[in-house]
Amino acid sequence: MAFNDIAKKSQGVQLLQRSLARRRLGHAYLFTGHQLEELELLARTLAKTLNCQQPVLTEGVATDCCDQCLSCRKIDNEGHADIHWARPESKSRIITVDQTRALMHEIQLKPGEAPFKVAIISGADRLNVQAANAFLKTLEEPPAKSILILLSTEPSRILETILSRCLRLNFTTEGRRPLEPLQSEWLNRFSSLAATGQKSLLSRYVLLDSLLQLLAGLRARVDETLSARSPLEKYTDAEKSLRERWEDELAAGIEAEYRRQRADILMLLQGWFRDVWLHTLSAGEELLSYPEIPGADEVARRLTSRQAEENLTVLEQTQRLLHTNVQEALALEVGLLKLQL
């Protein structure tokens, strides 16, 4: 994909193209947004534009790629010698210091077949402390003809010393995103169960089962989608070592994307419980996250504003707990049992 193929160019894309046209591209960028896949697409498009053999020119300067030349195709297939990626590794779901050092070694070398070397760290919030510190030296003294691009859906987890050295471009959709049909259907069901359920242990487990079923389906879809896009499907005759690396990257990618989408679901739930809290305060409908979802007002009638506020704290604690290696089902069970309904 080229920048021109993006249906509605965001301010971030416009800023990138303006910087390209003025020959003022920064040496290090942090792309933030809701979906890592979209951020990878943008980083890949920038890398293609910098190294395209037949670029779209604005006053003689490349501001977009052709998306067809050999260089563009190599970058799309992650087979370009001057474009290097780092992603969280397998079960650890972190970007290790060894990965970072290997990436920095590559970026220090002169470009081999293109004008620019590009290093892309996907999921930069997964850099462990040692990896982040190893990355800082290159970030402070980047080699000539090199661009560093960090991608993150959770920039608040990135070290401040790294954030301060990157130009940040936010590709997050402005305003509250409309609910997807599946999200709307599930939240309606959850709200109905919460509104009509009794204060019993069984009713809590009914809610937990509803959430776990949603997450199980979510993981299956993520697995299917990312597996279909993996080079493992395209290059079945690749060398064993390369296939093993792709398998590790796929496993890490699936886990990272699942965790991101799981966080979205829990934020959806937190928005609904925030509506419950606002109802206890008799707030206006214009302040509600999901005024179209009935049931929150019914739950609010059974709670004090203090109890409703405590529910939000429980959900925040559950989110933080899920960032650790705690067992998912157990963390969600404990969290739901603490909620006051």
**What residue ranges do the domains of the chain occupy?**
3-170, 181-338
- pLDDT tens sequence across 46-75: 999 999 999 999 888 999 999 999 999 999
Tokens of 339: 């909620």
CA dist list (Å): 72 to 44, 77, 106, 281, 308: 9, 9, 20, 56, 53
* Domain covering 181-338, topology: Zinc Finger, Delta Prime; domain 3 (1.20.272)
Q: What residues have CB less than 8 Å from 135, skipping those under 6 apart?
A: 100, 104, 121, 127, 162
Residue bearing tokens 């496993």: 251
Q: What residues have CB less than 8 Å from 213, skipping those under 6 apart?
A: none
88, 71 in Cβ contact below 8 A? no
Look at residue 3 in the predicted model and tell me its pLDDT. Answer: 85
Which has the closest alpha carbon to 86: 135, 119, 128, 130?
119
> How much is the average pLDDT of 250-275?
86
Residue 174 has pLDDT above 70, yes or no: no
> What CATH superfamily is the domain 3-170?
P-loop containing nucleotide triphosphate hydrolases (3.40.50.300)
Residue 24: band (very low, low, confident or very high) from pLDDT cuts 50, 70, 90: confident
Q: What residues have CB less than 8 Å from 129, skipping those under 6 apart?
A: 159
Q: CA 72 to CA 2: how far, in whole Å?
A: 10
The CB density around residue 1, as the number of other CB atoms within 10 Å, is 14
The pTM of this model reads 0.60
Q: CA 253 to CA 248: how far, in whole Å?
A: 8
Q: CA 299 to CA 279: how far, in whole Å?
A: 9
- pLDDT tens sequence across 204-230: 899 999 999 999 999 999 999 888 888
Q: CA 174 to CA 184: how far, in whole Å?
A: 20
Residue 99 has pLDDT above 80, yes or no: yes
Tokens of 100: 């970072």
Alpha-carbon dihedral sign for residues 327, 256, 25, 138 = positive
Type of residue found at 67: D
86, 99 in Cβ contact below 8 A? yes
H helical segments located in the chain: 11-21, 36-51, 70-76, 97-108, 129-140, 160-163, 181-196, 201-229, 231-234, 240-280, 296-300, 305-322, 328-338
Residue bearing tokens 């920038």: 46
DSSP string, 73-87: HHHHTT--TTEEEE-
Type of residue found at 33: G
Q: What residues have CB less than 8 Å from 44, skipping those under 6 apart?
A: 1, 75, 76, 120
Residue 11 has pLDDT above 80, yes or no: no
> How much is the average pLDDT of 127-156?
87
N- to C-terminal Cα distance for the chain?
48
> How much is the average pLDDT of 282-297?
83
Residue bearing tokens 């707030």: 283
